[in-house]
Amino acid sequence: MDFFDRQAAAQKRTGLLVFYFILAIVCLIALIVVAVSQIAGIPWNDPQLLGYVTLGTIAVVAIGSLTKIAELAQGGRVVAAMLGGEPVTPNTTDPQEKKLLNVVEEMSLASGVPVPEVYVLNDNTINAFAAGHGPGDTAIGVTRGCIDKLSRDELQGVIAHEFSHILHGDMKLNVRLIGLLNGILCVALIGAFVMRIFAYIRVDDGGSSNDGDRKNGMALTVAVFLIGLAVYIIGYIGVFFGNLIKAAVSRQREFLADASAVQYTRNPDGIAGALWKIGKFESRLSSPHAEEASHLYFGDGLAARTFSFFDTHPPLEDRIRAIAPNFEPPAELDRPPAPSIQRSSAATQPPPLPTQPVTTAETLERTLAGAAALLASVPDFALSNVRDLHGAIAFVYAMLLDERADYREAQLASIGVDDAMRREVMGLYNRRSEIPLPQRLPLIDLVVPTLRQLSPDQYATFRDNVHKLIAADQAVHLFEFALQKTLLRHLDLYFTRQTGASVKYRTIIPLLPSVQTLLSALAYIDHPDPAQRDAAFQAGAQQLMINASSYPMTRVDGCDLNRVDAALDETAQAAPQVKRTILAACREVVKHDGVVDTQQYELLRAIADSLDCPMPPLPPVTE
Strand, helix or coil at 100? helix
Q: What are phi and psi of 606, to 5 degrees?
A: -65, -40
Burial grade of 66 (CB within 10 A; 0-12, 13-18, 19 or more): middle
* Stretch (H or E) spanning 195: helix 170-199
Edge to edge, the sheet with strand 139-143 lists 85-87, 117-121, 139-143, 128-131
Q: Residues 105, 106, 117, 162: which is the catalytic one?
A: 162
Overall residue count recorded for the chain in this entry: 623
Pairing of strands 117-121, 139-143: parallel
DSSP code of 337?
A: P
Which residues on neighbouring strands pair with residue 117, listed in sequence order? 139
Q: Is 424 a catalytic residue?
A: no
- Taking Cα atoms as reference points, which of 91, 128, 136 lies closest to residue 112? 136
| 559 secondary structure, DSSP code | S
Alpha helices in 378-496 (DSSP H): 380-386, 389-400, 405-415, 419-430, 437-451, 456-472, 478-483, 489-496
The Cα–Cα gap between 589 and 186 comes to 54
Burial class (CB in 10 A: 0-12, 13-18, 19+), 559: buried
Rounded distance between C-alpha atoms, residue 61 and residue 238, angstroms: 11
Q: How far apart are CA 321 and CA 300, in angstroms?
A: 17
What is the chain's Cα-based Rg? 28
Closest CA to 142 of 333, 157, 280: 157
What CA–CA distance (Å, rounded) separates 172 from 170?
6
Among residues 491, 566, 473, 579, the alpha carbon closest in space to that of 521 is found at 566
Name which of 323, 309, 312 is nearest 275 in CA terms.
Answer: 323
The alpha carbon torsion through 18, 23, 26, 27 (nearest 10 deg) reads: -140
The Cβ of residue 528 has, within 10 Å, a number of other Cβ atoms equal to: 7
Distance, CA of 109 to CA of 366 (rounded, Å): 12
Work out the number of other CB atoms within 10 angstroms of the CB of residue 37: 17
Catalytically active residues are 162
